[in-house]
Structure 1
């Protein structure tokens, strides 16, 4: 009854099934591993950002450039404050407010963006305490430049003078005269009664849309594998039923077609 499995048609079907199932399982497993890697990265980055204050502060230049291993680590830098900006629409402890961002001009001649703290309400220059005068040494958590869409960063433009939507060298280059570090720090303790801004995990390590896309693709590939198996058994069952009907003479013969007269 199963001799039909040796026909060329069924050889083709069987080879396709034998290749398709391992391929679908492999792709599903690969997408699952991508999701698990993102979960591990998120966990590691979150723990690093939360425990960064437990490590001794190191000189700023020794921790650059910022990457997954240095983001959230405590650094120290010295210089003089040379200007201050406000970063509006930032949330802390469930309340809306703004960051007070000062530019620390270091001995290298480059300016380091320093988040001195957070204040509630709207971004009002009158509410922001002036930065300390003279030489200062700051200590805080190292952070990578922000990009719109990360950690609530707005992409809005047309802000009033003295404000910026994102803390990044690309956004600040037209607002300050100095060369900028491609990084910023948030102080361990807020200046002048401001609340300290906690360090955040670096971009690309969160459970974002891409992570859940990997999880969705995992399910799709395993469903494809199951669908291939289901269709193979369905075709097999139909072929067996056809063979039984043919053996019992239940398969109607196709009537001969009459020749179509030419001309």
Structure 2
């Protein structure tokens, strides 16, 4: 009854099934591995940010450029505060508010964006405390430049003068008359009564949309593998039923069933 499995048509079906199942399992395992790597990156980055709060601060220039190994680490820099901007639409402890961002003009000739703290409510320059005058030394967590679409970072434009949606050299270069570091610092302690903004894990190391896309693709590939097996058994059952009917003379033997879904 199963001699039909040796026909050219079934050879093609069987070869396809034998190739498709391992391929789907391999792709599903690869996507799962990508998800697990992102989970591990997220865990390592979170632990690094937590550990960075207790380590000694290092000079800013020794920790640049910002990458996954330096993001969240404590740094120190000296200079004089200059231009001040507001970063609206930022949440802290479940409340909506804004960051107070002040440019620290360092001896290197570049300015370092420093988030001095967070205030609740709509962004209002009148609410933001003025920065200290004279030479200051700041200590805080080093952060990579933000990009629109990052967690909490708005992509909208058309903000009022004195505001920026993202803390990045690309966003600030047209707003301030300084050369800029491609990084920023959030102070350990909020300045002038403001709330300190906690350091975040670097972009791309969290459980973001891409991570859950990997998990979704994992499920899809394993479903495809199961679907291939299901369709093979369905075609096999139809062929067996046809052979049985042909043996009983219910259908001509030369009319083989056409595989279909």
Residue 152 (structure 1) aligned with residue 181 (structure 2): no
Q: How far apart, in 1, do the equivalents of 2:108 and 2:19 lie?
A: 61
Change over 3 Å in CA distance of 1:254–1:135 after alignment to 2: closer
Q: How far apart, in 2, do the equivalents of 1:14 and 1:207 lie?
A: 40
- Aligned with 2:88: secondary structure? strand
Tell me what 1:239 maps to: 239
What RMSD in Å do the two structures reach over aligned CA positions? 1.6
Tell me what 1:121 maps to: 121
Tell me what 1:138 maps to: 138
- Aligned with 1:54: secondary structure? coil
Structure-2-length-normalised TM-score? 0.93
State which drifts further: 222-231 or 237-246.
237-246
- Larger-Rg structure: 1
Tell me what 2:2 maps to: 2
Change over 3 Å in CA distance of 1:84–1:247 after alignment to 2: same
**Mapping of residues 203-242 of structure 1, within 5 Å:** 203-242=203-242
In structure 1, runs of 5+ residues without a counterpart are 256-263
Report deviation, 1:254.
Answer: 8.4
Q: How far apart, in 2, do the equivalents of 1:47 and 1:117 lie?
A: 23
Residue 101 (structure 1) aligned with residue 101 (structure 2): yes
- Aligned with 1:105: secondary structure? strand
Q: How far apart, in 1, do the equivalents of 2:109 and 2:212 lie?
A: 43
How many pairs does the alignment contain? 255
Report deviation, 1:80.
Answer: 1.0
Report deviation, 1:105.
Answer: 0.8
Report deviation, 1:36.
Answer: 1.1
Change over 3 Å in CA distance of 1:253–1:219 after alignment to 2: closer
Report deviation, 1:92.
Answer: 1.0
Structure-1-length-normalised TM-score? 0.92
- Aligned with 2:56: secondary structure? coil
Deviations 1:100-123 (A, max 9, x none): 111111111000000011112222
Q: How far apart, in 2, do the equivalents of 1:253 and 1:81 lie?
A: 91
In structure 2, runs of 5+ residues without a counterpart are 256-261
Tell me what 2:165 maps to: 165
Report deviation, 1:228.
Answer: 0.9
State which drifts further: 141-150 or 158-167.
158-167
Q: How far apart, in 2, do the equivalents of 1:39 and 1:56 lie?
A: 28
Q: How far apart, in 2, do the equivalents of 1:254 and 1:33 lie?
A: 49
Tell me what 2:16 maps to: 16
Deviations 1:8-62 (A, max 9, x none): 1111111111100000000111111111111111222222223321221111111
Report deviation, 1:206.
Answer: 2.0
Q: How far apart, in 1, do the equivalents of 2:31 and 2:205 lie?
A: 16
